[in-house]
Amino acid sequence: MAEDTPMADAEAVRENTLMYGHDDELDDKYPTRPINLHKTLPFHTLFTELFNPLMETQKRKQPVGARRRVGPHGHSNMSPHEAKRNIIERFIATWRKQVGNDFFPAMRLIIPEKDRDRAMYGLKEKTIAKVLIKLTRIDPNSDGAKHMLNWKLPGQLNKASASTAGDFAGRCYEILSTRQLKTEYSDMSIAEVNNALDKLSQIGAEEEQVKIFQRFYRRMNAEEMTWLIRMVLRQMKIGATEKTILDIWHPDAETLFNISSNLRRVCWELFGPEVRLAGEDTGLSLMQCFQPQLAQFQDKVGNFEKLVTRFQGNTDDDTFWIEEKLDGERMQLHMVEDPDAPGGRTFGFWSRKAKDYAYLYGKHFQGDEAGALTRFITDAFGKNVRNIILDGEMITWDMDRDHIVGFGTLKTAAISEKENKTDKNTGQRPVFRVFDCVFLNDKLLTQYTLRDRRRALESAVKGVHRRLEIHPYTEARSHTEIEPALRKVVADSSEGLVLKNPRSMYRLNQRNNDWMKVKPEYMSEFGESLDCIVVGGYFGSGHRGGAHSSFLCALLTNKDAKKGDLKYEHCWSFFKVGGGFAQQDYADIRGRTEGKWHNWDPRRPPPFIELGGHEHNRQHERPDQWIRPRDSVVLECKAASVEGTDKFRFSLTLRFPRFKGLKKDKRWDQALSVQEFLEVKSRAETEKSEKEKEFKIEQSRRKKARISKKPLTVVGNDTVATPYAGPASKVFEGLSFFIMTEQIHPTKKSKPDLEALVKANGGKIVQRDSMDKDLVIVADKRLIKVASLEKRATNNIIKPIWIQDCIKQNETDCAPLPYLLPFEPNRHMFYLHDDDQLDFENNVDEYGDSFARDIADVDDMRKLLAGVGAGSDNDSAFERQGFLDQLEDHGESLAHLKTHMFGTVKAAFDSNPIDASGMLKAQLSKNYIRFGGGSVTDRIVEEGVTHVVVPNEHSSAKSVKAKVTGLARIVGVAWVEKCWEEGAMLDEERFQWG
């Protein structure tokens, strides 16, 4: 008899309606979505059973331990990472048991910053502070109110206030804990909190916001309110990343989220561990947002020739494509047939950040939901197109000038065009420039080359002039074609270029060398650096709380003014800089300006500092503190370009400013003035118009970041930095590698860097997997394609650290014939066949120490030493000969290593040395042989003896020879000593006796 399907109880039904309503569309979209059987857990369990335990584990210092062994006889102590996983697993298990399989209500509160279904609240810290001041009836001029409003400032309220600087929720707890209406935890469920937060995200009026917060305040204690505020601000910091949480929820959760950015979809499609992504399932579906492929930043490349080499490879087809980089918003367009929709089509628009823009650009061709784009593109698609997904850029186009306009005008233009009922050809409008097609007529195109996808795009999309257009490209074969194209786009004030490999597949949520940006801001474009005076400081948040993290720089208005003049020290705000500072830079600035800062009072601003909006009595980009120019420091800064703005008094500002250095040799009155900057700007514009500048990548951008103390360097742990110098060794000669992902642990390394490393050491790179069992497949992230290979179970998957270990070991050994390191199951294997488990476990001892790899990392050595003597019940011994046989199977040997040079030697020593000196030499020789992998015996007549060693001055060699049977050679101690000195087995005849 079939088992009855469990039914949800009344409380569960009520909460399900409370959170999701009676939405048939959800059931159509997620037909298998789970329904909880019981009421959701109380809100406070999120922090009592999850957040607080995780944070305690984060704070608790753990002693360095040995690698744990799996099984009943392993160590009982857990590492911090294991303890965190245990806490999360326990919470999820409790939810499944007491509530059901719909974990979405909890997940959206655990990682609220990843929840795209709930609209932004539009609430910043100061707004929340004002709401709390109202509902708690605190005097706005009291210390408590000021501490919440000025949450970035170090507090004076009590000793704890200093530690909460930069932590707004922590500062709120200080105030609310003395004014809470109840001390015990509330009975509010997670579903009720979600329902209230949904309402909060849908209203903008402060009065309504106060009412919702008031309901929270009446039912929650101070700790609950603190966590609620963190959720509203989407600033959790619970001691575990979303990667960890998603991975524990489901093995495929991170993969699906990375390509869909849809937390609801992750929770509802992967609601049970038995539900897995299919082998061909990429997560890309019609009308569901995905994470697009991104262009790689131009980095660590010295010229355009090397830039192009990155994706040209060794193929006969050396073409690449050059596209103009557009200054707009990355957008994906989905279109499906829908007989019930006005016009017969339904559209979806999503940004790269997964924001739904269908409300703006349109859901249908006609009707009330025809937006700023869809009602103008009825003729844009071929008649045979039933459904399609396009990838492109939404830009603003000025029809009067017939030219693209900056990104900042896009939303305004779209809103205006939405109201345009006449299709007028004036003003500004949104235009969708399409450069890729990833889905067409129920066919997924991501596995096809860019060239094939482009053909599909051109056959399916006809386009509409200045509404929806196919983005043009230029086919090139030489790096010399890049510079003229870059000159042209810079002259047109464009964003830059994108170089593309036409042979490449479309890779969801990846940034690799198949698409590469060449942007003017990466070039030495503006000219010289600017030395500007600091007049303001902004406090940071989080770990930078209580200290300045960025600075307001200004231009002096009159450098000739004398002390006492009205314009003395007078300056205009120019730009805000916070990038490029090392901790030592902050310390230097702090040391030179200590005690000279003043809190900014909006009612009484300093008369010699004018901010943006000054003429309208406004204070744009107002700093937290100000400093007199004569007490301040001069910063050397560089930027991409200059742009107009109303945020700064000068009406111009720097685009992407970055700190280069502190000008310790300059006085404040030697900083840049308004007039001097205008001269610099004019000079740069003149050079640009003459087109005489060379676009060279700014080398100073790639200087190593300064650090405050010299790092510890371990011999053998040097980084291999020969990605373009040809093979630096032949360690991977004859091997083919399929690098699937970037390296995550122990350090981050991009996929292109790993490929360059393999090629630099003799290996070959392929870009597709095959059934070849000798193919080395490398991955460090469980993406969909990696999970698919695991399910196929034809190849082991290796971690990238194995590549670096092999290179480091061969550099250390300096061997004439390089060898590959045997795989270590925990360190090297990302996915391991069960059949190979035992073989690879024999490559390490019971403590996890490799028998073939030198330990060159201090932390690894500490862990191994800490585990020695910890005890183990594993009686299995290392089979030395089996290990050597395994190397032989790979065509390798250890005989060239000093520690294995006597591996085939069994030496018998004459037991009667003539004197003490002879005894010492004999003992040293025995040790040399043992250290060299050989064995020693005192019995000359013994099976397997290969050498008989006698003192060099021994007079009875003939009597020793008489005892020798078989083919053993008689050699002097000098032979052993010389072999050890040379690090190799020498010919015995020169040292033979008798």
The encoded tokens of residue 723 equal 């990605």
Neighbouring residues of 605: CB distance < 8 A, sequence distance ≥ 6: 611, 619, 626
Is residue 69 in a domain? no
- End position of a domain, from candidates 824, 846, 866: 866
Residue 780 and residue 633 in one domain = no
Average pLDDT, the chain: 82
Query: In the structure, what pLDDT confidence band is assigned to residue 73 with cuts at 50, 70 and 90?
Result: very low
DSSP class of residue 784 equals H
Separation CA 682–CA 6 (nearest Å): 76
State the distance between the two ends of the chain, measured CA to CA, in whole angstroms: 91
Query: In the structure, what pLDDT confidence band is assigned to residue 493 with cuts at 50, 70 and 90?
Result: low
Report in angstroms the alpha-carbon separations of 611 from 150, 556, 882. Answer: 20, 13, 76
Is pLDDT of 710 > 50? no
Separation CA 396–CA 329 (nearest Å): 10
pLDDT average, residue stretch 968-977: 87
Residue 807 and residue 922 in one domain = no
Q: Is 825 helix (H, G, I), strand (E, B) or coil?
A: helix
Is residue 8 in a domain? no
Provide the CB-side half-sphere exposure for 20 (13 A, CA): 19
Is residue 670 in a domain? yes
**Per-residue pLDDT tens over the stretch 178-217:** 889 888 999 999 999 999 999 999 887 888 888 999 999 9
Q: What is the CATH number of the domain that holds 981?
A: 3.40.50.10190
Q: What is the CATH number of the domain that holds 610?
A: 2.40.50.140
Q: What is the CATH number of the domain that holds 133?
A: 1.10.3260.10
Separation CA 930–CA 905 (nearest Å): 9
CA nearest to 495, candidates 328, 643, 639? 328
Residue type, 657: P
**Per-residue pLDDT tens over the stretch 261-315:** 889 999 998 988 877 776 555 668 899 899 899 998 765 444 677 778 776 665 6
Residue 337 and residue 403 in one domain = yes
Residue 630 and residue 743 in one domain = no
Separation CA 862–CA 465 (nearest Å): 67
Separation CA 285–CA 260 (nearest Å): 9
> Of the ranges 718-722, 725-729, 898-902, which is most confident?
898-902
Q: Measured in whole angstroms, how far is the alpha carbon of residue 971 from the centre of its chain?
A: 61
Separation CA 92–CA 56 (nearest Å): 19
Phi, psi of 285 (to 5 degrees): -135, 155
User: By the 8 A CB rule, do 962 and 941 touch?
Assistant: no
Is residue 962 in a domain? yes
Is residue 890 in a domain? no
User: By the 8 A CB rule, do 901 and 983 touch?
Assistant: yes
Q: What angle do CA 398, 402, 405 make, to 5 degrees?
A: 40
How many structural domains is the chain composed of? 6
Residue 697 and residue 810 in one domain = no
Q: Beta-carbon neighbour count of residue 388 at 10 Å?
A: 23
pLDDT average, residue stretch 250-260: 86
Is pLDDT of 402 > 90? no
pLDDT average, residue stretch 531-541: 91
Residue 241 and residue 341 in one domain = no
Share of the chain above pLDDT 90, in %: 36
Is residue 765 in a domain? yes
**Domain region containing 936:** 898-991
Residue with tokens 């090139």: 476
Residue 257 and residue 227 in one domain = no
Strand partners, 189: 42
Is residue 660 in a domain? yes
Residue 240 and residue 201 in one domain = no
Separation CA 361–CA 336 (nearest Å): 15
**Per-residue pLDDT tens over the stretch 129-170:** 999 999 888 888 888 888 888 887 765 445 455 566 678 998
CA nearest to 295, candidates 754, 698, 752? 752
Residue 350 and residue 396 in one domain = yes
Residue 594 and residue 462 in one domain = no
Neighbouring residues of 987: CB distance < 8 A, sequence distance ≥ 6: none
User: Out of 114, 146, 325, 808, which one is annotated catalytic?
Assistant: 325
Separation CA 391–CA 372 (nearest Å): 18
Is residue 683 in a domain? yes
Residue 566 and residue 693 in one domain = yes
Residue 259 and residue 324 in one domain = no
The reply to whether 363 belongs to the active site is: no
Is pLDDT of 795 > 90? no
